[in-house]
Amino acid sequence: MGNPQTIWYNIEKNLVETIDQRYLPFQNLIIEISTLNEARTAITEMIVRGAPLIGVTAAYGMYLAARNYSGIEFHSEMNRAADWLKSSRPTAINLAFAIDEALSTISTQLTVPENSNLLLEYAEELKQREIGFSEKMGGFGLEIIQEIRRQKNGEPVNILTHCNAGRLATVELGTATAPMYLAHQAGIPIHVWVDETRPRNQGARLTAWELGEAGIPHTVIPDNTGGHLMQHGMVDLVIVGSDRTTLNGDVANKIGTYLKALAASDNGIPFYVALPSTSIDWNLNDGISEIPIEQRDGREVSMMEGLLVDQVHEFRILPEKSPVANYGFDVTPARLVTGLITERGICKASKEGILKLFPEKTSNND
């Protein structure tokens, strides 16, 4: 599989490298990031995407801003860099979380090179933290899969997922996919239904590629297929990721997640969300009214990209003059979520459930 990580600091070149996700699955290209602006562009252009990976990229971006700085107003410049990076994408809270943590590591008592070293250490530490979180979530989610397998007398467990909450959205293993990787490694037979995830097709292009590389049986389905499969007993479990989860357990994830949750609820199918605590917004209590939903370029809807013979082409798929709407995310209310799989365990999607796992957050939220 090559480097299992999706982003890394190249010491020899003194810059950051990452996979350019715009070209997968047709080409697996590595892109270099050596300035704050390149880090921001990587996020806005979705060279990197997925909440935890956006956070780690932003942390490296803060380091690059410091490393390249040569003026005399270092701290105000770092605050400007923070605001500039934060404005890159609005929904995933990991972005603001990582930037605020990065800012809190630097000090007016230190020189620019010292602060710059601290920021690189922070980015590396956040990366390791996310890897650890993925492993933990994987272990807890694995228990759910094992239990379903027992109930099915060893028959393959059919899991439906939406978008890409995999390795490519994190640093390693993923969030929603972490339990799948661990189940597969443990020899538990699983099969994954992969929602194609229009308009950018992160499921068809990225999740399918990832699962294929890992040898995990999977089938790509058009986004509207899940309900039908659920009605016919072909889905045992849904696991998705999250870009921002509020303290009351509402989950913002890729557009279309809510419809899967509704169908799962109607068919009595467990619907789990796997998320590291870096995706929890401790300040919000109502996802639908409070989480900012990104609206992206209409071209993502009107155009599609695909391979023709051996070349990638872009095609228009609707009348030139038809208006389009492109909401990037939706919010699944807590009542439709069976449980949240976090690095500390599985909890109810509620304030009480979340604070039981993260009691240190109680003081400012009671």
Catalytic residues: 243
- In the bound state with ligand MRU, the residue whose beta carbon lies nearer, of 112 and 337, is 337
Residue 301 binding ligand MRU, by CB under 6 A: no
* Cα separation, 118 vs 67, whole angstroms: 11
Residue 328, interface with ligand MRU (CB under 6 A)?
A: yes
Does position 57 interact with ligand MRU (CB under 6 A)? The reply is no
Q: Supply the minimum distance, in Å, between the C-beta of residue 221 and ligand MRU.
A: 16
SS3 273: strand
DSSP state of 296: -
Among 6, 22, 24, 50, binds ligand MRU (CB under 6 A): 50
Greatest Cα pair distance in the chain = 68
Dist CA 238 CA 240 (whole Å): 7
Contacts to ligand MRU from residues 77-96, by CB under 6 A:
92
Q: Which is nearer to ligand MRU, 331 or 334 (CB)?
A: 331
Compute the least distance from the CB of residue 265 to ligand MRU, in Å. 19
Q: Using alpha carbons, select from 88, 6, 78 the residue that is nearest to residue 40.
A: 88
Q: What is the footprint of ligand MRU within residues 16-45 (CB under 6 A)?
A: none
**What tokens appear for 259 in the block?**
């419809």
Residue type, 127: K
Minimum CB distance to ligand MRU smaller for 59 or for 169: 169
End-to-end CA distance of the chain: 46
d(CA 111, CA 70) in angstroms, rounded, equals: 12
Nearer to ligand MRU, 158 or 202 (CB): 202
Residues 153-182 that bind ligand MRU (CB under 6 A): 163, 165, 169-170, 174-175
Say whether residue 273 binds ligand MRU (CB under 6 A): no
CB proximity list for 172: less than 8 A, separation 6 or greater? 4, 5, 6, 131, 134
Enumerate residues 224-243 that contact ligand MRU by CB under 6 A: 241-243
* Residue 116 engages ligand MRU in binding (rule: CB under 6 A): no
